[in-house]
Amino acid sequence: MNGFTRNTFIAMIESVREDAVAAGLTTPSDWDRGVADLRRTATDDGTFHYTFFKAVAVNASPERSAA
């Protein structure tokens, strides 16, 4: 799990830092603090939980139905 957490999940989150900051979704310091907390989940005493799910969406608007 450590490999998945560090090499996939955390790496994926880290890759969007500049976009998230530029969009005003977070500040650089808040982002860095959050990623540091996320990295701690991959330590010996850390806990990481992520749920995979599948979703299905339906657009029920009249315009979509007429097409």
Average predicted confidence (pLDDT) for the chain:
87
Q: How many separate domains does the chain show?
A: 1
Query: Taking the model in full, what pTM does it have?
Result: 0.66
Expressed as residue numbers, the domain containing 44 is: 2-66
| CA dist 25 → 18, 21, 30 (Å) | 10, 6, 10
pLDDT the model gives residue 67: 53
For the stretch 27-44, pLDDT in tens is 999 999 999 999 998 888
